[in-house]
A and B are shown apart, each in its own frame.
Chain A
Amino acid sequence: MAFVAITDGAASTAEVAAFERDRRELLRHGFGFGGTALMASSIPLLWSVRSAFAEAGGDGDAPVLAKAINLERVTVVAYDSLIAGELLSPSVRGVLRRFRAHEQQHAETLTTSLTSLGGTPPAPPAGPADVDRVVEGLRDVRSQSDVLSFLIELETAAVAAYFDAQAKLSEPKLLQTSASIMANEGQHLVVLRRRAGRDPLPNAFETGEQ
C-alpha cells in the first residue's frame, strides 16, 4: 500500500532499546536529530512514551486507555511544573496554561471512557518524580527555549502514541476520540514550534516521527 511507508509504530522493547542506544551515541558525538540539538536528558523521551502504548497488554481497549490516561496526567504534571517555574514570559506562560487545561480535559475524557468500559483508572502521578518514569528531562530545563524544546518533544511523542493507538483500539467512538485528541496535540505543536522559531508545518502526515 502507498501508506505503508508510514509504519504503524508498534515498536518492540528491543527496537526501542536499540533506537535509544543509537540516539545516545549520536548525541555523544554532538549530533542532533533533523539538525536540531536535543537536550541529552530528553533522549529516551520519545520512545519511552511511545512504547507505553505499544506495550499495552491485555485484551480490549482498556489497557490502551489506561496508558493514555497516564500519559495525559503526566503531561499535566509536566505543564504544571513548567508553568510554576520562572523561565517563561507572561505570554508563553498563558499559552502553556491553556494547553495544560486541554491535557487535563483529555485525561478526564479518557477516564470517563475507561470507567464506562468497567476499567479502573491508574493511580495519578504524585509529582515531578513520577514524571521522570515516563519523561526524562523535565528538571533539566534552564531557559524558555529549553521549555519549548521539551514540550515539542513531549507533544510529538503523544502524537506518535495516538497514531499507534489507531491500530490497537476497536471501539468506534474511542477511535474518534483518540484522533480528536491527537489532532489537538498537533495544534499544540504548531504553536510551540512557532514560539521556538521552527517550521510550524513540517509534515503532511503528522505521525509523531521525528
Chain B
Amino acid sequence: MELDHFLRDPQSRRRFFRMTGVSAAGASAVLLGACGDDTKNPVQLGPDESDQADVEILNGLLDLELMAIAAYKAGAPKLGGERLGIVKVFLEQEQAHADGLSGSIEDLDGKPNRAKSDYDFPVLRTDADVLRFALDLENTAIAAYIDALPKFSEKKLRSTAASIITNEAEHASVLLHALGREPVPAALVTGRAA
C-alpha cells in the first residue's frame, strides 16, 4: 500500500493495526476489551483479575513497541547521516520500552507477546516516507498509552507509562523537526486515534 493512502485513510490504518496484532492502536480495542470501555465507571476486579487485565493492556502496548522496532529496522536502510542517527536512537529507546513492558508482564505471571514474523508496512520509497510513517506510529503509540493510563490497576505502571508517553512525544518532536515542521505543535499531546 502506498504511504499517502495509508496515512489518509482511517480504515486502512485500522485494518493494518488489526492485522499486525495491534488492535490496541489508537482505538484501543484490546485495551478496552481488557478492562471495560467506561473509564468513568471502572469495573472492580479482584487481585488476580487485576493482574490479568494489566497483562492484557501491557501486551497490547508491547505489540505496538515491537511493531515500531520492526518499522525502524525496515526504514533504517533508506536513511543516512543525521536521520539515520536519529532512527538508531529511537530504535534503542523503543527496545528499552519493549524490554520494560516484557519484564512487567512476566512479573505479573503473564507471557509477553512476541514480534510478528512479518509486518505489512506501507511502501516507503524515500527517507521522508520513513519519517512520516514513523511519526504516524509514534502518534498512534501516544494515543494508545494515554488511553491505557487510567485502566492500569498498578499505580507504578501509570507513572512508567507516562514516562514512555513523554519519550514517544519527544520522538514525535524530533521527527517533526526533521520534516521541517513545528516541533511542538500543541500544548496538550494526545497522539492520534486510529
In the assembled complex, B150 has its CB within 8 A of some CB on chain A: yes
Q: Which of B39, B165, B187 has the most CB of A within 10 A?
A: B187
Instruction: List A contacts of B40 (CB < 8 A).
Output: 172
User: Which positions in A face B, CB cutoff 8 Å?
Assistant: 1-4, 6, 8-9, 98-99, 101-103, 105-106, 109, 159, 162-164, 166-167, 172-173, 175-191, 194, 200-201, 203-207
Look across to chain B and name the residue whose beta carbon is closest to the beta carbon of A184: B189
> What A residues does B107 contact at CB under 8 A?
1-2
Given contacts A166-B158, A184-B184, A184-B188, A1 and B89 within 8 Å (CB-CB): no
A9 proximity list for chain B (CB < 8 A) = 159
Asked if B14 is at the interface (CB within 8 A of a chain A CB), the reply is: no
**A105 and B164 contact, Cβ closer than 8 Å, known pairs A2-B104, A4-B156:** no
Give the residues in chain B near A2, CB-CB below 8 Å: 99-100, 102-104, 106-107
With contacts A159-B166, A164-B159, A179-B165 taken as known, whether A201 is within 8 angstroms of B171 at the C-beta atoms is: yes
**Are the CB atoms of A105 and B167 closer together than 8 Å?**
no
Does B84 have its Cβ within 8 Å of any Cβ on chain A? no
CA distance A2 to B177 in the complex (A): 33
Question: Are B160 and A3 neighbours in the complex by a CB distance under 8 Å?
Answer: yes
**Cβ 8 A contact of A183, one of B108, B158, B166:** B166
Interface residues of B in 166-187 (CB under 8 A from A): 166-174, 177, 183-184, 186-187
Say if the beta carbon of B97 comes within 8 Å of chain A.
yes
Q: Could you say which residues of chain A place their CB within 8 Å of the CB of B169?
A: 183-184, 186-187
A166 close to B188 (CB less than 8 A): no
Q: Which of A102, A166, A172, A203 contacts B162 (CB 8 A)?
A: A166
21 A-B pairs in the complex with CB atoms less than 8 angstroms apart: A3-B104, A9-B159, A102-B187, A105-B187, A172-B149, A176-B146, A176-B147, A176-B150, A179-B145, A179-B146, A179-B161, A179-B166, A182-B162, A183-B165, A186-B173, A187-B169, A187-B173, A187-B183, A187-B184, A191-B173, A201-B93
